[in-house]
């Protein structure tokens, strides 16, 4: 079968491309990516010349391009990763998030309706559920938790999810949706917590922790996320939402301390800075449904996953140094230069 992967030059999309080519060598993968600041063709270099892989540079909002691509490739399945994905950027400038995440998803859905599709899979996020209190560890996000998004990013993803489900109900489009917790692993852009802290620590630069660092995220190794999506597109039930997560809740400050320890860097690098606006307190996924119905369980423990991830960033310095040295510097200065350092 032919799988159209949007956003395959980004963090999770590229890991998914590698996983599919390795585990289903008879399938054809077509990657559509606009190569925004977050997309990187260097990442896909190892597979660019494989006969069952094709890369197409383009925007998911470009309806003419989508028509052409669907006519050329007749994809059986669309796995839709392409998005603006960074919460802090969405607070600075929401517009592109609304365009890409909402209108782009709608354009893809229309192409699927026009040309026909066996499955459209929407890669969504636990952030659509809003957040949970820090003092109620018994509460988890289930698929029945109401949508209650907080940031321009998460509200754009929530909007996209609603449109996807509406196309299923109204037009009978065969869709599935997955909502995953925070991913970590190779090829994550160093604006996100874990790679940013690794890169800064290696350069002996301050480690900017928002507020007190007590916010909790539920971390999942990226390959486990890819395996879950692979199961959903092959065995998942049309019209269903699946939560993906590994019951691995950690406070930000503990992650940053762990990175300092692993790299032999002093905790005095940790700098508490002005908090993120509207900062979600805690995310925690209940993955019981995907375990019960599809037999999925995470395979990589946080202990192993974070060790492998840190080692990957040590072994692949050129990959992230290109990014850190480029226009990212201006972004970093804009985002962090203005943040006040908090005392205590």
Catalytic residues: 126-127, 153
Task: Pick the stretch among 5-13, 67-75, 109-117, 167-175 that binds ligand NAD (CB under 6 A).
Answer: 5-13
Q: Residue 234, SS3?
A: helix
Is 236 an interacting residue with respect to ligand NAD (CB under 6 A)?
no
The option from ligand DAU, ligand NAD, none interacting with 196 (CB < 5 to 8 A, set by class) reads: ligand DAU
Report, in Å, the least distance between residue 43 CB and ligand NAD: 8
How many degrees, rounded to 5, is the angle at CA 334 between CA 328 and CA 335? 90
Q: Which of 127, 131, 161, 249 binds ligand DAU (CB under 6 A)?
A: 127
Site for ligand DAU contains 69 (CB under 6 A): no
Question: How near is the Cβ of 64 to ligand DAU at its closest, in Å?
Answer: 28
- Tell me how far apart the alpha carbons of residues 29 and 18 are, in angstroms, rounded to a whole number: 10
Which tokens hold the place of 232? 């959903």
Within 52-91, which residues bind ligand NAD (CB under 6 A)?
Answer: 59-61, 81-85
Separation of alpha carbons 208 and 206, rounded Å: 6
Query: 69 Cβ partners below 8 Å, 6+ apart?
Result: 4, 30, 32, 56, 58, 111
Is 193 a binding residue for ligand DAU by CB under 6 A? The answer is yes
Q: Which two tokens stand for residue 286?
A: 């209940």
Is the Cβ of residue 54 or residue 289 nearer to ligand DAU in the bound state? 289
Would you count residue 155 as binding ligand NAD (CB under 6 A)? no
Q: Which does 252 bind (CB under 5 to 8 A by kind): ligand DAU, ligand NAD, none?
A: ligand DAU
Beta pairing, strands 175-180 & 119-125: parallel
**Of 82, 61, 64, 65, which is closest to residue 11 (Cα–Cα)?**
82
Residue 273 in 3-state DSSP? strand
Site for ligand DAU in 214-233 (CB under 6 A): 215, 217
The residue (of 8 and 75) whose beta carbon lies closer to ligand DAU is 8
Angle (nearest 5°) at CA 94 between 330 and 200: 35
The footprint of ligand NAD (CB under 6 A) covers 6-7, 9-13, 33-36, 38-39, 59-61, 81-85, 100, 104, 123, 125, 157, 180, 182-183, 189
């Amino acid at each position: 079968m032919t799988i159209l992967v949007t956003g395959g030059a980004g963090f999770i999309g590229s890991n998914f491309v590698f996983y599919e080519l390795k585990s289903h060598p008879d399938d054809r993968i077509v990657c559509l990516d606009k190569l925004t600041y977050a997309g990187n063709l260097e990442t896909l270099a190892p597979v660019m010349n494989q006969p069952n892989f094709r890369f197409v540079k383009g925007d998911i909002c470009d309806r003419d391009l989508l028509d052409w691509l669907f006519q050329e490739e007749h994809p059986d399945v669309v796995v839709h990763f392409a998005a603006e994905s960074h919460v802090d950027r969405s607070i600075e400038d929401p517009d592109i998030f609304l365009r890409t995440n909402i209108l782009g998803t709608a354009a893809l859905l229309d192409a699927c309706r026009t040309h026909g599709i066996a499955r459209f899979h929407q890669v969504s996020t636990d952030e659509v559920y809003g957040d949970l209190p820090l003092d109620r560890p018994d509460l988890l996000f289930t698929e029945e938790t109401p949508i209650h998004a907080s940031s321009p990013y998460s509200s754009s993803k929530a909007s996209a999810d609603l449109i996807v489900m509406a196309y299923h109900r109204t037009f009978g489009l065969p869709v599935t949706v997955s909502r995953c917790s925070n991913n970590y692993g190779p090829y994550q852009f160093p604006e996100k917590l874990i790679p940013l802290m690794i890169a800064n620590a290696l350069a002996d630069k301050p480690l900017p922790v928002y507020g007190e660092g007590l916010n909790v995220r539920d971390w999942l190794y990226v390959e486990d996320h890819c395996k879950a999506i692979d199961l959903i597109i092959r065995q998942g039930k049309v019209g269903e939402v699946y939560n993906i997560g590994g019951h691995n809740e950690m406070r930000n400050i503990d992650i940053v301390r762990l990175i300092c320890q692993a790299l032999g860097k002093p905790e005095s690098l940790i700098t508490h800075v002005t908090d993120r606006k509207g900062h979600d307190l805690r995310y925690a996924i209940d993955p019981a449904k995907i375990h019960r119905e599809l037999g999925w369980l995470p395979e990589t423990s946080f202990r192993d996953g974070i060790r492998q991830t840190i080692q990957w960033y040590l072994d692949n310095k050129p990959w992230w140094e290109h990014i850190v040295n480029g226009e990212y510097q201006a972004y970093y200065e804009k985002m962090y230069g203005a943040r006040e350092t908090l005392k205590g």
